[in-house]
């Protein structure tokens, strides 16, 4: 009996430190931010925090800037992830079928992924510079008009998508290549013997067999894509106006330019909510598709 009691105490001694650590590191900031999101907290001018209920959220939902940033984020993410997937899968297929020099490509294709996004954005700012950048030089040489890449809404978004694609296609390539290499090669030999063309082999065999992996890869890229901030921050700062402002950048600007911490917290939670809703819908649809195909 006493032995059982002391064991019970030991159990608590092991459990509580871990629980408190998780509470302190992970749950406390979340809960703190949640509380702040229901308050009006301004650092400049410093005012005592005031409970405002759902006012911050209401203001966000009524603000055109929020919906604009939603649209920008969704556009950049969906366009870039779609391109990343198609290009990444195509490159993986090429590498899988051992095009000449595949091992060299394998390394060079992965390099962009290892660069810091801020660095990539800085390089891109040079390349797409309206007057000094090589892209406009090329356009002029080819007889096209001069494009103000970073100061007009459409081209600026296109440049952001391009950078995302450039940097993150290797990630898709890497995972899809791993997936391709894990497929049983006898299945493809069987298809060859049965005279199935490469095109049909891809659509009827490779693609369905890799669909579960594709769903996961696209999901990772969507969630990551939604958080895009550094490239936008460096390249356009959200401009012209707020034409390229993403959700995260909007939250950053509220917090660290206007020092409106209550609003920033509310934005962050709205962002979390948006990602969860998007993610859930995506996964539900994808799961139905996967179940039907595999």
Partner 1 sequence: MPHVEMEGVTKAFGAVTVIPPLDLMIDKGEFLVLVGPSGCGKTTTLRMLAGLEEVSGGTIRIGGRDVTHLRPGARDCAMVFQNYALYPHMTVRENIGYAMRVHGTPRATIAERVEEASRLLGLEPYLDRKPRMLSGGQRQRVAIGRALVRHPEVFLFDEPLSNLDAKLRVEMRTEIKLLQRRLGTTAVYVTHDQVEAMTMADRVVVMRAGVIEQAADPITLYEKPANRFVANFIGSPAMNFLSARLADGSVVTDGQVLPLAPEDAARLGPRESIVFGIRPEHMRSSEHQASLTFGAEAVEPLGPHTLVLGRLGGERVTAQVDPRFPVAAGQPCTVPVDMTQAHFFDPDTGLRL
- In the list 90, 196, 215, 275, the residue contacting partner 1 (rule: CB under 8 A) is 196
- We find the least distance from the C-beta atom of residue 200 to partner 1, in angstroms, to be 6
**Which string of DSSP letters, residue by residue, matches 223-292?**
HHHHT--HHHHHHTTT-STTTT--HHHHHHHHHHTS-BHHHHHHHHHHHHHHHHHHHHHHHHHHHHHHHH
Asked whether position 181 contacts partner 1 by CB under 8 A, the answer is no
Q: Is 182 exposed, middle or buried (0-12, 13-18, 19+ CB in 10 A)?
A: exposed
Asked whether position 8 contacts partner 1 by CB under 8 A, the answer is no
Asked whether position 182 contacts partner 1 by CB under 8 A, the answer is no
- In the list 68, 112, 155, 208, the residue contacting partner 1 (rule: CB under 8 A) is 208
Structure tokens at 215: 């769903």
- In the list 27, 116, 204, 284, the residue contacting partner 1 (rule: CB under 8 A) is 204
Whole-angstrom distance, CA of residue 133 vs CA of residue 147: 11
- In the list 205, 220, 283, 286, the residue contacting partner 1 (rule: CB under 8 A) is 205
Asked whether position 293 contacts partner 1 by CB under 8 A, the answer is yes
Whole-angstrom distance, CA of residue 104 vs CA of residue 224: 28
Asked whether position 190 contacts partner 1 by CB under 8 A, the answer is yes
Q: Is 22 exposed, middle or buried (0-12, 13-18, 19+ CB in 10 A)?
A: exposed
- We find the least distance from the C-beta atom of residue 204 to partner 1, in angstroms, to be 7
Whole-angstrom distance, CA of residue 120 vs CA of residue 122: 5
Residue ranges in 116-145 that form contacts with partner 1 under rule CB under 8 A: none
- In the list 92, 209, 217, 263, the residue contacting partner 1 (rule: CB under 8 A) is 209
Among 116-124, 202-210, 235-243, 277-285, the segment contacting partner 1 (CB under 8 A)? 202-210
- Per CB under 8 A, residues contacting partner 1 are 184, 186-187, 189-197, 200, 204-205, 208-209, 293-294
């Amino acid at each position: 009996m006493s032995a059982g009691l002391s064991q019970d105490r030991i159990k608590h001694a092991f459990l509580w430190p871990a629980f408190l650590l998780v509470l302190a590191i992970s749950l406390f900031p979340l809960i703190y931010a949640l509380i702040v999101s229901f308050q009006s907290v301004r650092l400049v001018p410093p005012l005592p925090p005031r409970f405002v209920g759902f006012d911050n959220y209401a203001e966000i939902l009524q603000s055109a800037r929020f919906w604009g940033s939603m649209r920008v984020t969704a556009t950049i993410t969906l366009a870039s992830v779609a391109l990343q997937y198609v290009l990444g899968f195509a490159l993986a297929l090429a590498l899988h079928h051992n095009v000449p020099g595949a091992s060299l490509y394998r390394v060079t294709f992965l390099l962009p992924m290892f660069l810091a996004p801020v660095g990539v954005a800085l390089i891109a700012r040079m390349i797409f510079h309206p007057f000094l950048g090589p892209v406009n030089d090329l356009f002029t040489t080819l007889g096209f008009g001069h494009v103000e890449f970073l100061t007009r809404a459409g081209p600026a978004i296109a440049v952001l998508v391009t950078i995302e694609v450039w940097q993150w296609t290797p990630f898709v390539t890497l995972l899809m290549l791993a997936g391709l290499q894990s497929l049983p090669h006898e299945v493809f030999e069987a298809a060859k013997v049965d005279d199935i063309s490469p095109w049909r082999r891809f659509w009827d065999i490779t693609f369905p067999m890799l669909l579960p992996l594709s769903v996961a890869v696209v999901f990772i890229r969507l969630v990551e894509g939604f958080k895009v901030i550094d490239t936008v921050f460096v390249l356009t700062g959200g401009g012209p106006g707020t034409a390229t402002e993403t959700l995260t950048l909007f939250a950053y600007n509220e917090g660290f330019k206007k020092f409106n911490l209550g609003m920033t917290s509310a934005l962050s939670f709205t962002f979390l909510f948006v990602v969860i809703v998007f993610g859930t819908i995506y996964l539900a649809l994808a799961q139905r598709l996967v179940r039907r195909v595999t």
